Amino acid sequence: MKKFNFRKVLDGLTASSPVGSSGGGSGSGAGGGSVHPGGTAGAAGTPREEIQETLTSDYFQICKTVRHGFPYLPTALAFDPVQKILAIGTRTGAIRILGRPGVDCYCQHESGAAVLQLQFLINEGALVSACADDALHLWNLRQKRPAVLHSLKFNRERITYCHLPFQSKWLYVGTERGNTHIVNIESFILSGYVIMWNKAIELSTKTHPGPVVHLSDSPRDEGKLLIGYENGTIVFWDLRSKRADLRAYYDEAIHSVAWHHEGKQFMCSHSDGSLTLWNLKSPNRPFQTTIPHGKVQRDGKKPESCKPILKVEYKTCKNSEPFVIFSGGLSYDKPCRRPSLTIMHGKAITVLEMDHPIVDFLTLCETPYPNEFQEPYAVVVLLEKDLIVVDLTQSNFPIFENPYPIDIHESPVTCTEYFADCPPDLIPVLYSVGAKHKKQGYSNKEWPISGGAWNLGAQTYPEIIITGHADGSVKFWDASAITLQMLYKLKTSKVFEKQKVGEGKATAEIVEEDPFAVQMMYWCPESRIFCVAGVSAYVIVYKFSKHEVNTEIASLEVRLQCEVEDIITPEPETNPPFPDASSQLPSLKSLSGSTNTVACEGTMKDSIPCLSVKARPVRMPPGYQADLVIQLVWVDGEPPQQITSLAVNSAYGLVAFGNCNGLAVVDFMQKTVLLSMGTLDLYGSSDPYQRQPRSPRKSRQFAADNFCMRGLSNFYPDLTKRIRTSYQSLTELSDSPVSLELERCKSPTSGKDHVNGHCTSPTSQSCSSGKRLSSADVSRANRRGPGRPPFRKAQSAACMEISLPVTTEENRENSFSRSRSSSVSSIDRDSKEAITALYFMESFARKNDSAVSSCLWVGTGLGMVIILSLNLPASDDLRQSEPVMVSPSGTVLTLKGAVLTFACLDCMGTLTHRPYEVWRDPHSADDGDKTRKRKLVMHSPSSSQDMGDHQFAVICSEKQAKVFSLPSQTCLYVHNITETSFLLRADVVTLCNSVCLACFCANGHIMTLSLPSLRPLLDINYLPVTDMRIARTFCFTNEGQALYLSSPTEIQRLTYSQEMCDNLQDMLGDLFTPVETPEAQNRGFLKGLFGGSGQAFDREELFGEATAGKASRSLAQHIPGSGGIEGVRGAAGGVIGDLTRARIALDERGQKLGELDERTASMMASAEAFSKHAHEVMLKYKDKKWYQF
């Protein structure tokens, strides 16, 4: 049995007591009765004792799971040719490691410094990263969550280039000063061996050679190091003798160098678009110079210069000509040409044009050994916004089909929805209709990045993520078992006519760019009804069919705006409510004058939709097919306001949507508009506010109704904040002023029913002395300044900056403030009230109802909840012919802050599912009369008569959550979630066969509350909202899952379930798998004899402390890393943690045994060499006498 919660009572009384003194209901709309069941016996007290809540704080823990999408702002690329895994570094200090599909790991440098270069320790399960803060890091990849083992921070020199030879433990590091340092990978300590720039160049050279841009050891002799300097100097350094074997000079800057596998030639790429080929025997000048894309001059002069060749790779083949692959180098006379990769194979030159600038590329070869024929088979090209792999084994160089979900940002993401534990047949059905639209022409070879290992894990329920995009497209993704794969793509723009260049301004002036951007989505997985609200004030209802159909698209137009006839401009002498009337009038006159100007010019738009729906029959492929398009129209020169809330119900056959003007309800079965009403009219006689007329505030130029982002300026009150975002936020798109928190029932004549939680006085009317100024006049005056378009750009640009200037006092007043005190005068109020939440459910509409009925719950930006009754035809046969009646029930509930979400619990505390119609194919050929009957699942409360007499309504606003008992409408529980911030997202979700309320707050806190008692279960400061993208895309779903867009190109998934955190290690892929390193080819006797002395080179002897000494301590600082501890911490708890610790211990033991073997072999070799040397000395002096020594 649950005990009576005295703390909750005290909290509620504290919240409501100051309210009572000021005559309003700020803390709780129901006054005293909303906090304790006193005064309402029976129904209010009974459920408190009956419902046993199973969720406790032990069920919750926050943990990031996986990141999907393309790495944002990539900078570096590396590939392990034995393990076959790829690493990508970014400008934000992130590293993404990719293997076979399902193997995708994200790790982040703590410093956040940009990654300059990545180097795999090939087949060793480790990675070296060099960052812009001049630090080197060694990552351990032998655990599922990589961790830094060692770091080395350079203090006096800037790192410019690194090179790690294959099977070497010594890393060469070039610096901006032109010096080359050597780091021991095992200990991450600098060697005392340094190649100083002034020793490398000739003494006669008077200028500095510039930074080191290239380092590589000769394939022929590991004891020779090739150093490339930026100004065109090349030095071939003998590591043993510590001197330069040869020096070469070229008059153009060097960008990269590539060896021929025999080690006799190397190729350089230069800033003038030229490639030079050098021979070690004649280093005075290159024996071949070409400008591949340069025009040949007629008079035999040198070809004209081209753009720099940023990188070149020179790869040999045993049975064909070598490949020369480079990026850049295009002619300057073609400025519009796209970035390209050029492949030269023999005499054939192929130019592959790319959609985005090339960041880096790598050629994948059959062998990891640099001194063998390379046999290239693919090229990995890293672009700024894409990753492609080119097949080199086919003459037309096709690309591989990319199995990774890296095209999330193909068009910028504007909204997201997440569904866990949805019907299992949905994923195969969506995949089957989506597979028909796949592109052709890919390589028939398997994806070459195939390393790592991944298994399904214990999580088996299906998950689907839906992303809406700026171009009007919607993508459905299979997100089961922490993977991501695209299932199906829907293009919503296809229902509209394409705008021709030069026309369209007459109708579609509402949005300058991306008029089809998806703003909101609503999906019913059971009935497969899908609904989209677009930025151009339209709603499209889609039905799913497996059959292609050719049909016309039904469309409706809805007027949802205050009429011009209602506007009466207040006169100065009859305007007593305004204390500062004289100062307000000039701005009102000037703004209303601009409205009249539109009318005089004869260009006033009226009853015109923003876009034109196709009038001809349209072919619709299998999948989602448009059933109805609903468009809001211009009204007397005023554009329709953007849609702020959306709900669909397949059982009722209704779609409802609202904006800052009001609410519309449409019957999509009969294709009729049932309701189109202003928000104020929805109250009828139950309006709880004494709404006073008000004049527009001066300088009110801000665009304002992002209902999930208002209040952001509270966090940045002192200066202008630039917030990077991946979408055009609603603050840029919407014209309506922010619905500031209204004073609750200030009029002394407004009586309040504290028990019922809403105002009931008949004198609470929205009129006063003087002529009425309607909300349309206020909104029009606020919205339209001279020369200002109705809406700004509706695009979702990848890196858009939004300034929130709140530095001056006037701006501060106009900022998105939600935390004003309840004593602010009505002059600061806004008479517009946006519809912010909608919910269809079977509920008790009125206080005296004895049975549930069909209802639409409406939540507004002022914290009001209005219940509308839906009178549906009694039988299914009459549904297509009889009208549906929508009427206000008279019930009004109140909360503090804009309403975000609703849910309904039955009398046992179980979540009641919304009614739905079981899906049937609307175009199925075998549909007979019997199958045409609709099958409805109503999900009414428990059928037991003694238990089904009441239910719980859960309502959450951006400030507080309340649980009401129905039909008594008593507020049983209230929880003030935040006072200083506001909620961005709230969802009622199921977890462990129970239900809870999950909230994400603008101050970064993630919270969960039990239901129905609203006990806090979790409150963690997870993610401060410095970016509107996060606010717009954050969403919770069932089974403890959530996601948000962490960058314009990446989706970050997380869990708030302790159980999933415990099982996460089993679900993640393994980056390292045991693979035998391929054996080196037999070099043959002659090659071994004459091919140089590379095999006898001992780096340990040369660079070790015994020979080279210690490096200067001030040059670099060694920082020990966390090593494998992070991996263990991620898997802590239970058997999984023990197994992980044991696995890491075994790995470390194996590594130490391997090192012991190597040392033993080294000691044996040293002993043999010593024995041989001693034997030679003995033979030399065997026959000599003592006096001959």
C-alpha distances in Å from residue 356, one per residue of 118, 239, 352 = 22, 41, 12
- Reduced to 3 states (helix: H, G, I; strand: E, B; else coil), residue 360 is strand
Position 673 scores a pLDDT of: 94
User: Three-class SS string for 387-412?
Assistant: EEEEECCCCCCCECCCCCCCCCCCCC
Give pLDDT, residue 1083.
Answer: 61
Per-residue pLDDT averaged across 378-392, rounded? 96
DSSP H helices in 564-670: 581-600
For residues 89 and 474, what is the distance between their CA atoms, to the nearest angstrom?
A: 29
Cα(21)–Cα(24) distance, integer angstroms: 8
The model's pLDDT over 1137-1187, given as tens digits with 9 standing for 90+, comes to: 455 556 556 666 666 676 677 777 778 877 888 888 778 777 777 766 655
Examine the pLDDT at 1075 and tell me if it is beyond 50. yes
Task: Please compute the mean of the pLDDT values over residues 295-299 and round it to a whole number.
Answer: 74
pLDDT at 48: 46
Q: Could you give the dihedral angle defined by the CA atoms of residues 889, 890, 894 and 900, in that order, rounded to the nearest 10 degrees?
A: 30
The band of 849, judged by pLDDT with boundaries at 50, 70 and 90, is: confident
Residue 1 in this model has a pLDDT that exceeds 60:
no
Secondary structure (3-state) at 325: strand
The neighbour count for residue 266, using CB atoms within 10 Å, is: 25
User: What pLDDT is recorded for position 1080?
Assistant: 84
CA distances from 939 to 320, 842, 906 (A): 70, 8, 10
The region of weakest confidence among 34-38, 570-574, 963-967, 1091-1095 is 34-38
**pLDDT tens profile 452-478:** 998 776 667 899 999 999 999 999 999
- Tell me the pLDDT of the chain averaged across its residues: 77
Q: Name the pLDDT band for 50 (thresholds 50, 70, 90).
A: low
**What 8-state DSSP symbol labels residue 1060?**
H
Cis? peptide before 424, omega within 30° of 0: no
The encoded tokens of residue 417 equal 């929805």
8 A C-beta contact, residue 35 and residue 28: yes
Q: How many CA atoms lie within 13 A of 1112 on its CB side?
A: 8
- Give the model's pLDDT for residue 582: 34
For residue 507, the SS3 value is: coil
Q: Which two tokens stand for residue 1111?
A: 């490096």
Beta strands 233-238 and 413-420, pairing class: unpaired
Beta bridge partners of 214: 228
| pLDDT tens figures, 850-878 | 889 999 999 999 999 999 999 998 877 78
Residue 1094 has a pLDDT of: 44
Determine the 3-state secondary structure of 1143 from DSSP. helix
For the residues 556-576, what does the mean pLDDT come to? 54
Between 585 and 458, the higher pLDDT residue? 458
Does position 949 have pLDDT exceeding 80, yes or no?
no
Looking at residue 1135, what is its pLDDT? 44
Strand 555-558 vs strand 623-632: parallel, antiparallel, or unpaired?
parallel
pLDDT of residue 1167: 80
Q: Which amino acid is at 907?
A: C
Q: 3-class DSSP state for residue 841?
A: strand
pLDDT in tens, 132-188: 999 999 999 999 899 999 999 999 899 999 999 999 999 999 999 999 999 999 989
Dihedral over alpha carbons 1148, 1149, 1154, 1156 (to 10 degrees): 120
> With pLDDT > 90 as the criterion, what percentage of the chain qualifies?
50
Predicted confidence band of residue 686 (pLDDT cuts 50, 70, 90)? low
Residue 58, number of CB atoms within 10 A of its CB: 8
Q: What is the pLDDT of residues 1028-1046, one digit of tens each?
A: 889 899 999 999 999 999 9
Q: Please, are residues 159 and 1115 in contact by the beta-carbon 8 Å criterion?
A: no
- On the question of pLDDT at 939 being above 60, the answer is yes
Q: Is the pLDDT of residue 46 over 60?
A: no
Distance between CA atoms of 554 and 666, rounded to whole angstroms? 13
Which has more confidence, 822 or 72? 72
pLDDT over 70, % of the chain: 72
- Sequence-distant (6+) residues with CB within 8 A of 1151 are none
Q: Is 574 exposed, middle or buried (0-12, 13-18, 19+ CB in 10 A)?
A: exposed
Report residue 707 as tokens: 């209902």
Higher pLDDT, 1166 or 1132: 1166
Task: State the DSSP H helix or E strand holding residue 7, giving kind and residue range, or none if neither.
Answer: helix 6-22
The predicted model scores a pTM of 0.78
Element (H, E) at 62: strand 60-69
Render the burial of 473-495: b for 16+ CB within 10 Å, e for the rest. bbbbbbbbbbbbbbbbbbebbbb
CA distance 120 to 817: 51
β-bridge partners, 69: 1050
DSSP state of 769: S
Of 337, 277, 268, 346, the residue nearest 309 (C-alpha):
268
- Name which of 1069, 1135, 1137 is nearest 66 in CA terms: 1069
C-beta atoms surrounding 509 within 10 Å: 18
**Which residues 6+ apart lie within 8 Å of 116 measured at CB?**
75, 76, 89, 130, 131, 132, 159, 160
CA distances from 35 to 12, 38, 603, 757, 759 (A): 5, 9, 55, 10, 17
What is the DSSP-derived secondary structure letter of residue 704? Answer: -
Predicted local distance difference test score (pLDDT) of residue 504:
44
Contacts of 1111 (CB under 8 A, 6+ apart): 181, 189, 190, 191, 192, 194
Q: What's 59's DSSP letter? A: G
Cβ count within 10 A of residue 877: 10
**Could you read off the pLDDT of 1093-1107 as tens digits, one per residue?**
444 577 787 887 777
H/E/C letters for each residue in 283-313? CCCCCEEECCCCCCCCCCCCCCCECCEEEEE
H or E segment and range at residue 683: helix 679-683
Cα–Cα distance measured from residue 1030 to residue 727, given in angstroms and rounded to the nearest whole number? 10
Scan for tokens 């919770």, then name that residue. 1036
* pLDDT tens for each residue of 884-934: 999 988 899 999 999 999 999 998 889 998 888 899 888 876 655 444 678
Report how far residue 883's alpha carbon sits from residue 872's, in angstroms, rounded to the nearest whole number: 8
Indicate the SS3 state at residue 127. Answer: strand
Asked if the model's pLDDT at residue 818 lies above 70, the reply is no
C-alpha–C-alpha distance, residues 953 and 966, integer Å: 7
Query: How far is residue 983's CA from residue 994's CA, in Å, rounded to a whole number?
Result: 23
- Cis amide prior to 967 (ω within 30 degrees): yes
Tens digit of pLDDT for each residue in 721-765? 332 233 333 333 333 333 333 333 333 333 333 333 333 333 333
The whole-number pLDDT of residue 783 equals 38
pLDDT > 60? residue 703: no
Q: What single letter denotes the amino acid at residue 290? A: T
- Distance, in Å, from the CA atom of 723 to the CA atom of 548, rounded to the nearest integer, reads 45
Does pLDDT of 356 surpass 70? yes
Asked if residue 104 lies in contact with residue 63, where contact means CB atoms within 8 angstroms, the answer is no
Q: Is the pLDDT of residue 200 over 70?
A: yes
**Cα–Cα dist 57/69, whole Å:** 32
**Residue 1125 parent element (H or E):** helix 1125-1130
Closest CA relative to residue 1029, chosen from 384, 108, 463, 409: 409
Taking Cα atoms as reference points, which of 133, 125, 23, 37 lies closest to residue 80? 125
